[in-house]
Amino acid sequence: MKQFLILWLICLVGFSQTNSSFEQANELYNSGYYKEAIEQYSSILDSNLHSAELYYNLANCHYKLNEIAPSIFYYEKALQLAPNDTDVLNNLSFAQKMTIDAIQEIPENGFSKLFNKTINSLSLDDWAISCVGLVFLFVLLFLSYYLSSSEAKKRLFFVSSSLVLILLVSSLGLLFKKDNIEASLRPAIVFAKETEVKAEPNLRAETSFTLHEGTKVQIIEDYNLDWSKIKLRNGETGWVTKAVLRNL
Amino acid sequence: MPPKQKELRFKPKRTGKMKIKALIFTFFISGLMSGQVSFDSKVSKRQLGINERLRVDFTMNKDGDDFEPPGFENFNVVGGPSQSINNSWVNGVRSFSKTYSYFLAPKKRGQFTIGQATIKIDGEVYKTLPVKISVSAAIDKPKDPNDPNYIASEKIHLVAEVSNTNPYLNEAITVVYKLYVAQGVGVRNSREIDKPRYSDFWSQNIDVEGLGAQQGTYKGEDYLYVVLRKTVLYPQKTGKLNIEPLSLDVTVEVPSNRRDVFGRSFMSTVNRRVSAGNRTINVKPLPEKDKPESFSGAVGSFDFKLTTNKKELRASEAFEVKLEVSGKGNLKLFRLPRLVLPSALEVYEPEHSEKVTTLISGMRGRITDSYTVVPNDPGNYPIPSVSFSYFDLKTKRYKTITSEQLVINVDEGPMNTSNNSSGAIVENVITPNLNQFSSFKTTTNLKPIHSKPFFKSNLFWLLLLTPFLLIPFTVFMVRNRMTRALDVTGNKIRKTNRLARKYLSAAKKSLGQKEQFYDALERALHNYLKSKFRLETSEFNKEKIEEILQNKKVNRSTLEGFISLLKACELARYTPLSTVDMQNDLDKASKVINALDKQLN
Q: Cβ contacts of residue B490 below 8 Å, gap of 6+? A: B484
Q: Cβ contacts of residue B272 below 8 Å, gap of 6+? A: B149, B152, B153, B156, B249, B250, B251, B252
Same domain for B331 and B263 = no
Task: Note whether B463 contacts A135, CB cutoff 8 Å.
Answer: yes
Same domain for B186 and B109 = no
For β-strands B295-308 and B387-392, DSSP reports them as: parallel
Average pLDDT across chain B, whole number: 78
R_g of chain B, CA atoms, integer Å: 70
Q: Would you say residue A186 has pLDDT above 60?
A: yes
Exposure of B364 by Cβ count < 10 A (0-12 exposed, 13-18 middle, 19+ buried)?
Answer: middle
CA distances from B391 to B234, B302, B360, B401 (A): 14, 9, 20, 11
User: Looking at residue A73, what is its pLDDT?
Assistant: 92
Asked whether residue B212 is domain-assigned, the answer is yes
Task: Note whether A29 contacts B384, CB cutoff 8 Å.
Answer: no
CATH code (residue B201): 2.60.40
Q: Which of B136, B157, B175 is the last residue of a domain?
A: B136
Same domain for B312 and B222 = no
Give the pLDDT confidence of A96-143 residue by residue, as tens digits. Answer: 888 888 777 777 778 888 888 888 888 888 888 898 899 999 988 888
User: Looking at residue A169, what is its pLDDT?
Assistant: 92
Average pLDDT across chain A, whole number: 84
User: Looking at residue B11, what is its pLDDT?
Assistant: 42
DSSP B255: E
**How many CB atoms lie under 10 A from the CB of residue B442?**
11
Same domain for B164 and B129 = no
d(CA B138, CA B117): 28
Task: Note whether A56 contacts B341, CB cutoff 8 Å.
Answer: no
Q: How far is A82 from chain B (nearest CA, A)?
A: 12
CA distances from B308 to B312, B338, B410, B569 (A): 10, 15, 13, 118
Same domain for B361 and B265 = no
What's the domain range around B376?
A: 295-411
Task: Note whether B444 contacts A54, CB cutoff 8 Å.
Answer: yes
User: Looking at residue B150, what is its pLDDT?
Assistant: 75
Same domain for B251 and B353 = no
CA B215, B90, B252, B188: dihedral to nearest 10 degrees? Answer: 80
Return the CATH architecture of domain A187-247. Answer: Roll (2.30)
How many residues are listed for chain A in this entry?
248
Task: Note whether B437 contacts A53, CB cutoff 8 Å.
Answer: no
pTM above 0.80, yes or no: no
User: Looking at residue A5, what is its pLDDT?
Assistant: 52
Same domain for B128 and B194 = no
Instruction: Using a CB–CB cutoff of 8 Å, tell me whether B27 touches chain A.
Output: no
Q: Which of A30, A50, A87 sits opposite B438 (nearest CB)?
A: A87
Q: Which of B342, B441, B453 sits opposite A57 (nearest CB)?
A: B441
Q: Which of B263, B283, B303 is the last residue of a domain?
A: B283
DSSP B434: S
Q: Are B327 and B401 in contact (CB under 8 A)?
A: no
**How many CB atoms lie under 10 A from the CB of residue B270?**
19
Q: Are A88 and A82 in contact (CB under 8 A)?
A: yes
User: Taking Cα atoms as reference points, which of B274, B171, B187, B259 lies closest to residue B223?
Assistant: B187
Same domain for B309 and B262 = no
For β-strands B47-49 and B131-136, DSSP reports them as: parallel
Sheet holding B124-127, edge to edge: B65-68, B118-121, B124-127
Number of structural domains (chain B) is: 4
Same domain for B268 and B154 = yes
User: Looking at residue B421, what is its pLDDT?
Assistant: 44
- Beta-ladder partners of B398: B391
CA dihedral sign of residues A231, A232, A236, A238: negative
Mean pLDDT to the nearest integer, A187-207: 87
CATH code (residue B503): 1.20.120
d(CA B586, CA A17): 72
Instruction: Using a CB–CB cutoff of 8 Å, tell me whether B474 touches chain A.
Output: yes
User: Looking at residue B255, what is its pLDDT?
Assistant: 76
Asked whether residue B581 is domain-assigned, the answer is yes
Give the pLDDT confidence of B543-552 residue by residue, as tens digits. Answer: 777 777 777 7
Asked whether residue B377 is domain-assigned, the answer is yes
Chain B residue with Cα closest to A91: B437
If you classify domain A2-97 with CATH, what class do you get? Answer: mainly alpha
Planar angle of CA A16, A17, A18, nearest 5 degrees: 95
Same domain for B320 and B246 = no
Instruction: Using a CB–CB cutoff of 8 Å, tell me whether B442 touches chain A.
Output: yes
Give the pLDDT confidence of B181-231 residue by residue, as tens digits. Answer: 887 788 887 788 777 888 888 888 888 777 778 888 888 788 888 888 888
Same domain for B512 and B401 = no
User: Looking at residue B35, what is its pLDDT?
Assistant: 57
Residues of chain B with pLDDT under 50: 1-15, 27-34, 416-426, 431
Q: Which of B411, B439, B470 is the last residue of a domain?
A: B411
Q: Which of B409, B410, B437, B481 has the most A C-beta neighbours within 10 Å, making it the best mutation to test the interface with A?
A: B437
Same domain for B370 and B334 = yes
Q: Are B336 and B274 in contact (CB under 8 A)?
A: no
d(CA A71, CA A81): 16
CATH code (residue B353): 2.60.40.740
Q: How far is B306 from chain A (nearest CA, A)?
A: 18
Q: Which amino acid is at B171?
A: E
d(CA B412, CA B435): 7
Task: Note whether B446 contacts A63, CB cutoff 8 Å.
Answer: no
d(CA B222, CA B520): 164
Asked whether residue B393 is domain-assigned, the answer is yes
Q: Which of A11, A99, A124 sits opposite B453 (nearest CB)?
A: A124
- Beta-ladder partners of B39: B60
